[in-house]
Amino acid sequence: MLASPTANATEVPAPISDPAQARALAAKVGDDRTGGVYYGDAGQLVVAVTDEATARAVRAEGGVAEIVKYSTAALTSVHATLDQRIAEADPIPNTSWGVDPSTNQVTVEIFDGVSAADEKRLMDLVAGYGDAVRVEKLTGTIRPTAYESIGGIGIVSKEGGSGCTLGFNVRDSSGQKYFVTAGHCADTSADLWWNRENGNHYLGKRIWFDYGGIDKDYAVMDYRNDEIVAYGAVRAAGTEYEITDSRYPNAGESAKRAGAVSSDLVGEVLSPSETVTYSDGTVLKNMIETSHCALPGDSGGPLWTGTQALGITSATTTPSSASCNSAQSQYRTYFQPVHWVLAHHGLSAF
């Protein structure tokens, strides 16, 4: 006959497969005797511990234990020091750090764009922690994952109509952000809710516009989407140009123009105050005339020089079938002075 199991036999607990249960076990043991929880190479949950006695206690409750050198408390202290001495005192863009239980270290990551001086400052700080810190150098820069909005990108109305170009991002005294484009793009009785053309992501709503008034061909849109990050710059031919302010142009100065369809980075202000009659009979005064080319879809796009915003693309003599590039100067393009728009509505470029 087979003997039945004795009543006092030790029962083996079921292995822990719930991360919350593993974290609760680590918390029960305490940060001074554990090094965190992670998934091992075989896919099992591992509770890192600092001594054999703690390892036996973890195994007795169904946990997989691994003995490590540093406790969670020690590594968290290193992390906190980096926060206080770098992130909160003098932050270094394109860096990150955090506790990695799987390696029992604080991992410091340095991405592109970190200066030699900043890298030395960071390395000098972590050097005293020995193998408790691992430094990795990685490519790329750390940018928000929110959708960006920048001068020169294509924009479209949710209510239909032709595509246009975002001119400049601007803001009021309270920091509320807006963008400006051509008024004829928004010349309708509808409120015109606008999206980015690329990806069709919602930007915001038209709040002010005019087309056909004296020196007026502009629209101001209020950003209404928290997932959009508006940058104080314009993009042309793959390059970004910072914008810090606006002003009226001067005759004879060189300027750049950008648009969703074409860009012309070599041009001259021929007249800072031109009276123009468009082919539809619209008369506009005090417009900027330049030697740039432009194409349909470029309307609303930025005209700038250096870091100064000058104008919003309104009209051009460039045939729609023509090529448009910086080697041409036979065409004429007209712009709404953006400084007038911003002054009129209490806004500023940034």
Determine whether 90 is an active site residue.
no
pLDDT digits (tens, 9 = 90+) for 148-179: 899 999 999 988 767 999 999 999 999 999 99
Q: Are 258 and 309 in contact (CB under 8 A)?
A: no
pLDDT digits (tens, 9 = 90+) for 85-142: 999 899 999 899 989 999 999 999 999 989 999 999 999 999 999 999 999 999 877 7
Determine whether 226 is an active site residue.
no
Catalytic residue from among 217, 263, 291, 292: 217
Confidence of residue 302 (pLDDT cuts 50, 70, 90): very high
pLDDT at site 144: 54
Catalytic residue from among 246, 263, 291, 299: 299
CATH topology of 19-67 equal to that of 144-350? no
Catalytic residue from among 71, 118, 157, 184: 184
Task: Look at residue 3 and tell me whether its pLDDT is greater than 60.
Answer: no
Beta strand pairing call for 202-211 and 154-157: unpaired
Task: Look at residue 224 and tell me whether its pLDDT is greater than 60.
Answer: yes
pLDDT digits (tens, 9 = 90+) for 226-237: 889 999 999 998
Write out the two tokens for 3: 């003997």
CATH tag, 72-137: 3.30.300.50
pLDDT digits (tens, 9 = 90+) for 329-339: 899 999 999 99
CATH code matching the domain that covers 19-67, chosen among 1.10.3430, 3.40.50, 3.30.70, 1.10.10: 3.30.70
How would you write the chain as a 3-class SS string? CCCCCCCCCCCCCCCCCCHHHHHHHHHHHCCCCEEEEEECCCCCEEEEECCHHHHHHHHHCCCEEEECCCCHHHHHHHHHHHHHHHHCCCCCCCEEEEEECCCCEEEEEECCCCCHHHHHHHHHHHHCCHHHEEEEECCCCCCCCCEEEEECCEEEECCCCCCEECCEEEECCCCCEEEEECHHHHCCCCCCEEEECCCCCEEEEEEEEEECCCCCEEEEEEECCCCEEEEEEEEECCEEEECCEECCCCCCCEEEECCCCCCEEEEEEEEEEEEEECCCCCEEEEEEEECCCCCCCCCCCEEEECCEEEEEEEEECCCCCCCCCCCCCCCCEEEEEHHHHHHHHCCEEC
Kindly report which listed range (26-35, 64-73, 134-143) carries the lowest average pLDDT score: 134-143
What are the residue boundaries of the structural domains of the chain, listed by start?
Answer: 19-67, 72-137, 144-350
CA angle 13, 19, 20 (to 5 degrees): 90
pTM of the model: 0.63
Beta bridge pairs of residue 206: 221
CATH code matching the domain that covers 144-350, chosen among 2.40.10.10, 3.20.20.70, 1.20.1250.20, 3.40.50.11600: 2.40.10.10
Q: How large is the average pLDDT for residues 239-264?
A: 96
Confidence of residue 64 (pLDDT cuts 50, 70, 90): very high
Q: CB under 8 Å to 93, separation ≥6 — which residues?
A: 113, 114, 141, 142
Q: CB under 8 Å to 344, separation ≥6 — which residues?
A: none
Determine whether 184 is an active site residue.
yes
Confidence of residue 10 (pLDDT cuts 50, 70, 90): low
pLDDT at site 238: 87
Task: Look at residue 268 and tell me whether its pLDDT is greater than 60.
Answer: yes
Task: Look at residue 145 and tell me whether its pLDDT is greater than 60.
Answer: no
* Residue spans of beta strands (DSSP E) within 291-345: 302-305, 308-316, 333-337
